[in-house]
């Protein structure tokens, strides 16, 4: 039990406590308040047991620098031995430890050696509330005695600055002593000044130094590096200078500045530059702390001292009404001046050591009434309950930032058109390149700043509703987000283009441009209807947090924070430009001069006449053993950028690829499962029983329907064993996804979903978004109804081209409505999106067999429109996090989607008309890149599921009915992992086994080939494990930037090569331009089977 005070509290103080709703017992217990300490440079990582926490770790390091807790355990042990007590970690304040109240800290050896410093928990909480980020310029208006300054500089890392101000010189000198003791003053400057009138601007650090001489005397022209080692004469000069300052100078007295505080190299006039009103919005401080002078009645230890000082002193210092009134006036002035020095979008924290409403709530309420531009931030309880979101997403909003500017429309439209064209252009190539929106997200930053600096500020139609300007001011983050939303529309693949390619190129049937345009536009826009129906459940609730968006938020913040070029290094923009140029220049080799770099298959070179070696070693047509690609388009073609994959996900994909490619596929082939040796070991082709290409056109009647008599004559359709196993793994992945989510995330999803649908309390982000006009629900309903009507009309009126009956459209829409919510919940909470395309193909294949276009139309409207809706919801959540007005987001998405659809269709139509024999592998010249691997697979699927039907392939009438057992295997596999996790809970690696990812790793094969996987896994390992673990600082600054630069560089070179050489049919013909040098990889090995260019066994 704590010892209680012998003397009762005076009656006046008891009345004071009662008036403020305070419990007197907190002051009567002696030695009840623990002491607190904190270690310099002491940060703590969260438990990185999932991809979500991987994101959290990445984001923490983006903003706090590399986390370094060196020797922390040894230091704790040393302290516990010194104090003969146990240190208790303070969970709600990272880096803080508490000790018993009687502990003497100042006399301890670790304290004297500068290994830790004492600081109140309340002071630490005030500093943490600032949410200091890398590069911030921070102002502390009441800096003494210095513990808060130390913590600020500790959190700030190696960039930005802290300016400390205090009116008492002797107290500020204590701050200087602490900074020197803990070696934390490198980015700090200290001014003796009145915090109510202080007006100096923050300064940026200079990259050069003058000398180690002092620069504090009055008449010096340029500030040199500060040092405390000064001769007596210089100290005397400084003292006289202070006397002159007191007598007449208006400048605050500078008593300390660090080497990188921005002072060294400045002239006096530059240092004492004050902030005018027009500069504050962009040149003010990022964060301001006003820890104001008060009555200190909130300090229990302080009040207990009055027992010895005398209660009359308490009456004079705490209860005196006149002094209290003068303090509230001072507090209001400090708060007002701190806000004046805060830049737009910055954060200010106001705190006192008083528990009275008059010195806290009343001061803040009056300030908010007087300053309508100030927005009160949130308490921790109001912030997002998802810790990763709370740590990453900004909790402030600047409503004055322009959104739909001339820059937004120009750069957004340009990014959308360019990415749409490039992605569709590269889609038909052997190694399709996906140019992601990250390329545009990074590339538009210098363009946006260039337009802000060069465009005229003239206002057109001033005073009217049509008033606008070409240059509303500096390029801002909200413009950037909207430009990226435009780019996102062009970065994705317009799935309906597959229908156009299948009908025109493969089936060689009529499909008019008007019908193609209707299909493409409606499939892209229909998803808005599903998004509108469920946005209140999947966007507004804090529980629906969409983990993938945190990477985007982190990147936006990184690109818009002030960045100083590190010594010997480069900024992110400089690094992007260097990598872009290198990627641009290099791609001329694999893209034109030396295409074999796409897949270097050395086994084929060693054994040029061995079919077995070619089957094993070919990266394009075999199992890819030892094959590697030196072409970024090959590496990132199907699995996305390997630089964006966390290592545990890479490990699952690598294991799944190895299981399929090096275990199951060889066993199935060499044991001749499903007549495997009759066909190539790896192929997406459709074959007859003798290994010849199946004549699909022979089994199609004039009405574009299956001709059963012709089908009986042609015989059963066969596929390679690898292709059959791929469908099996797809089946397994579907059931594994459901079972895995239920076992590992079921309880969480239920709780999160229930809270999302039932919670009435809004988190901070939803509350901030309420200030903007919401998108009316009828906008979404109109889009939904108009699209459904147009689709039904098109399917009825152009039924000869589209085949899908009206009831098929309604059934597809019903499936989309049914699956959008559960799939959305899974995607928003677990970052996993189950693939349901096979379900739609299965359903319509059984209900309406023999109509291939009807099957793919049903899949597009039943699955792809739902997937589009999920994408729109994710983008809405990104706008929610970045505080983009909802109507602006809606307009950007709709306009961007329509532009993207038009450009994708126009590009595809142009290529189909200008590239001879596009997608026809038999007629294309050797080494031609226009092989359309993705469209071949789509066409094959339309034949398997639509024309012939699932019953004749995988059903009771089919040859591959055994593949259905993979459904069961996929359901059992996660159960085994779950049981292992329960049996060995301490084996964390078991939790990382994600069966949906492992079993679904190869669902892209074909069209993806082995070299796409082998190269991807190696690069992903180098980035996600080696660079992340051992070169963390480089990884955090440049990893994602490098990914975007590589995408952009080869995209522009690929386009240039086609326009300059490809359209003129200028090709090279030498051994380095022929595939991967494995011509025998596709040869069958069954005796008696004849194939062109292959030996007969």
Q: Give me 521's structure tokens.
A: 């536009």
Are 763 and 383 in contact by the 8 Å Cβ rule? The answer is: yes
End-to-end C-alpha distance for the chain, whole angstroms: 92
Determine whether the annotation assigns residue 277 to a binding site. Answer: no
Are 904 and 424 in contact by the 8 Å Cβ rule? The answer is: yes
Q: Give me 82's structure tokens.
A: 């010194």
Are 580 and 463 in contact by the 8 Å Cβ rule? The answer is: no
* Burial of residue 874 (number of CB atoms within 10 Å: 0-12, 13-18, 19+): buried
Helices (H), 707-851: 708-714, 721-740, 746-758, 764-769, 777-797, 799-802, 806-830, 837-847
Q: Give me 851's structure tokens.
A: 């109509």
Angle 72-74-78 from CA coordinates, rounded to 5°: 115
Place of tokens 């009405």: 703
1083 annotated active-site: no
Helices (H), 431-512: 437-454, 477-491, 497-501
* H or E stretch covering 169: helix 169-182
| Alpha-carbon distances, residue 549 vs 243, 680, 1044, 1045 (angstroms) | 57, 42, 17, 20
Strands (E) in 258-403, as ranges, are: 285-291, 342-351
Angle 543-545-546 from CA coordinates, rounded to 5°: 140
Contacts of 329 (CB under 8 A, 6+ apart): none
* Burial of residue 326 (number of CB atoms within 10 Å: 0-12, 13-18, 19+): exposed
Rounded distance between C-alpha atoms, residue 62 and residue 46, angstroms: 15
Angle 534-536-537 from CA coordinates, rounded to 5°: 70
Are 541 and 755 in contact by the 8 Å Cβ rule? The answer is: yes
Are 684 and 695 in contact by the 8 Å Cβ rule? The answer is: no
Rounded (10°) angle between helices 477-491 and 886-914: 40
Helices (H), 918-964: 933-941
Q: Give me 29's structure tokens.
A: 């217990």
- DSSP secondary-structure letter at 253? E
Are 45 and 55 in contact by the 8 Å Cβ rule? The answer is: no
Determine whether the annotation assigns residue 166 to a binding site. Answer: yes
Rounded distance between C-alpha atoms, residue 1065 and residue 1057, angstroms: 11
Rounded distance between C-alpha atoms, residue 870 and residue 821, angstroms: 9
- DSSP secondary-structure letter at 186? G
One of 150, 175, 353, 1083 is an active-site residue; which one?
353
Determine whether the annotation assigns residue 291 to a binding site. Answer: yes
Radius of gyration of the chain (CA): 34
Rounded distance between C-alpha atoms, residue 69 and residue 74, angstroms: 11
Angle 167-173-176 from CA coordinates, rounded to 5°: 120
* Burial of residue 32 (number of CB atoms within 10 Å: 0-12, 13-18, 19+): middle
Taking residue 919's Cβ as centre, other Cβ atoms within 10 Å add up to 23
Q: Give me 296's structure tokens.
A: 């200190």
For residue 542, give the nearest of 391, 762, 394 by alpha carbon.
Answer: 762
Q: Give me 652's structure tokens.
A: 């699952």
Pairing of strands 35-38, 96-99: antiparallel
For residue 87, give the nearest of 145, 35, 11, 144 by alpha carbon.
Answer: 35
Extract the annotated binding site: 166, 194, 291
Cite the annotated binding site for S-adenosyl-L-methionine by residue number.
166, 194, 291
Q: Give the active site residues.
A: 353
């Amino acid at each position: 039990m704590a010892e209680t005070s012998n003397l009762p509290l005076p009656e006046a103080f008891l009345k004071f406590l009662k008036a403020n709703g305070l419990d007197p017992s907190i002051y009567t217990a002696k030695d009840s308040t623990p002491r607190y300490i904190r270690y310099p440079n002491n940060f703590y990582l969260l438990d990185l047991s999932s991809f979500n926490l991987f994101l959290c770790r990445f984001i923490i390091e983006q903003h706090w620098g590399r986390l370094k807790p060196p020797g922390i355990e040894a230091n704790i042990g040393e302290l516990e031995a010194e104090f003969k007590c146990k240190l208790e970690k303070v969970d709600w304040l990272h880096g803080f430890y508490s000790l018993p109240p009687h502990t003497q800290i100042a006399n301890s050896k670790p304290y004297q050696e500068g290994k830790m410093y004492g600081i109140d928990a309340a002071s630490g909480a005030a500093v943490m509330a600032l949410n200091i980020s890398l590069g911030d310029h921070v102002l502390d208006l009441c800096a003494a005695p210095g513990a808060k300054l130390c913590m600020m500089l500790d959190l700030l890392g190696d960039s930005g600055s802290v300016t400390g101000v205090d009116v008492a010189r002797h107290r500020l000198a204590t701050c200087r002593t602490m900074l020197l003791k803990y070696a934390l003053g490198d980015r700090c400057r200290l001014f003796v000044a009145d915090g109510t009138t202080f007006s100096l601007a923050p300064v940026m650090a200079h990259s050069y130094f003058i000398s180690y001489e002092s620069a504090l005397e009055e008449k010096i022209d340029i500030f040199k590096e500060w040092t405390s080692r000064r001769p007596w004469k210089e100290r005397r000069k400084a003292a006289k200078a202070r006397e002159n300052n007191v007598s007449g100078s208006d400048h605050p007295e500078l008593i300390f500045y660090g080497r990188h505080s921005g002072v060294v190299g400045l002239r006096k006039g530059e240092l004492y530059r004050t902030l005018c009103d027009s500069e504050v919005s962009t040149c003010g401080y990022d964060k301001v702390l006003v820890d104001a002078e008060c009555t200190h009645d909130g300090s229990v230890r302080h009040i207990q001292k009055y027992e010895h000082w005398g209660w009359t002193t308490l009456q004079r210092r705490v209860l005196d009404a006149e002094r209290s009134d003068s303090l509230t006036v001072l507090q209001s002035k400090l708060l007002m001046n701190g806000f004046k020095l805060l830049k737009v979008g910055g954060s200010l924290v106001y705190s006192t050591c008083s528990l009275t409403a008059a010195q806290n709530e009343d001061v803040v309420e009056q300030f908010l009434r007087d300053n309508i531009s100030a927005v009160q931030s949130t308490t921790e309880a109001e912030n997002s309950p998802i810790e990763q979101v709370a740590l990453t997403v900004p909790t402030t909003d600047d409503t004055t930032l322009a959104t739909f500017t001339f820059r937004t429309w120009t750069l957004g439209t340009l990014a959308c058109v360019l990415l749409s064209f490039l992605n569709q252009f590269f889609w038909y190539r052997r190694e399709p390149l996906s140019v992601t929106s990250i390329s545009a997200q990074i590339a538009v930053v210098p363009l946006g700043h260039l337009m802000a600096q060069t465009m005229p500020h003239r206002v057109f139609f001033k005073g009217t509703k049509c008033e606008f300007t070409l240059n509303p001011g500096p390029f801002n983050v909200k413009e950037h987000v909207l430009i990226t939303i435009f780019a996102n529309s062009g970065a994705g693949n317009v799935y309906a283009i597959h229908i156009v390619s299948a009908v025109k190129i493969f089936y060689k049937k009529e499909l008019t441009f008007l019908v193609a345009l209707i299909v493409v536009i409606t499939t892209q826009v229909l998803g808005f209807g599903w998004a509108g129906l469920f946005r209140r459940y999947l966007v507004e609730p804090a529980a629906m947090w969409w983990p993938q968006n945190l990477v985007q938020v982190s990147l936006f913040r990184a690109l818009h924070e002030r960045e100083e070029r590190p010594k010997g290094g480069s900024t992110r923009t400089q690094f992007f430009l260097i990598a872009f140029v290198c990627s641009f220049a290099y791609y001329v080799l694999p893209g034109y001069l030396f295409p074999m770099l796409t897949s270097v298959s050395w086994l084929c070179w060693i054994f040029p006449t061995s079919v077995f070696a070619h089957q094993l070693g070919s990266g394009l047509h075999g199992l890819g053993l030892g094959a590697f690609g030196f072409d970024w388009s090959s590496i990132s073609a199907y699995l996305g950028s390997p630089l964006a994959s966390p290592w545990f996900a890479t490990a699952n994909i690598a294991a799944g690829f190895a299981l399929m490619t090096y275990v199951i596929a060889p066993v199935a082939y060499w044991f001749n499962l499903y007549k495997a040796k009759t066909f190539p070991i790896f192929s997406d082709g459709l074959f007859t029983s003798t290994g010849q290409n199946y004549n699909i056109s022979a089994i199609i009647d004039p009405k574009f329907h299956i001709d059963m008599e012709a089908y009986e004559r042609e015989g059963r359709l066969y596929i390679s064993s690898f292709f059959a196993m791929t469908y099996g793994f797809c089946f397994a992945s579907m059931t594994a996804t459901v079972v895995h989510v239920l076992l590992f995330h079921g309880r969480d999803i239920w709780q999160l979903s229930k809270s999302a649908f039932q919670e009435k309390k809004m988190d901070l982000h939803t509350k901030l978004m309420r200030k903007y006009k919401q998108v009316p629900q009828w906008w979404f309903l109109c889009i939904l109804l108009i699209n459904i009507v147009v689709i039904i009309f098109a399917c009825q009126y152009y039924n000869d081209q589209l085949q899908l009956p009206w009831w098929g459209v309604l059934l597809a829409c019903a499936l989309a409505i049914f699956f959008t919510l559960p799939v959305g919940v899974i995607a928003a909470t677990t970052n996993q999106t189950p693939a349901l395309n096979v379900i739609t193909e299965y359903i319509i294949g059984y209900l309406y067999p023999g109509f291939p276009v009807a099957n793919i139309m049903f899949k597009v409207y039943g699955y792809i429109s739902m997937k589009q809706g999920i994408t729109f919801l994710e983008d809405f959540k990104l706008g929610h996090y970045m505080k983009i007005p909802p109507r602006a987001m809606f307009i950007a998405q709709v306009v961007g989607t329509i532009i993207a659809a038009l450009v994708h269709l126009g590009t595809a139509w142009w290529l189909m008309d200008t590239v001879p024999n596009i997608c026809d592998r038999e007629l294309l010249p050797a080494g031609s890149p226009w092989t359309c691997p993705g469209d071949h697979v789509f066409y094959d699927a339309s034949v398997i599921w639509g024309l012939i039907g699932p019953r004749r392939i995988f059903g009771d009438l089919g040859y591959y009915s055994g593949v259905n057992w993979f459904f069961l295997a996929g359901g059992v596999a996660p159960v085994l992992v779950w049981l292992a996790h329960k049996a060995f809970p301490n084996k964390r690696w078991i939790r990382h086994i994600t069966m949906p990812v492992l079993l679904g790793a190869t669902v892209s094969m074909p069209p993806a080939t082995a070299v796409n996987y082998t190269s991807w896994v190696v690069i992903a390992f180098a980035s996600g494990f080696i660079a992340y673990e051992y070169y963390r600082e480089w990884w955090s600054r440049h990893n994602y930037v490098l990914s975007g630069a590589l995408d952009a560089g080869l995209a522009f070179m690929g386009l240039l090569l086609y326009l300059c050489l490809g359209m003129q049919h200028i090709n090279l013909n030498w051994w380095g331009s022929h595939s991967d040098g494995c011509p025998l990889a596709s040869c069958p090995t069954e005796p008696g089977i004849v194939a062109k260019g292959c030996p007969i066994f």
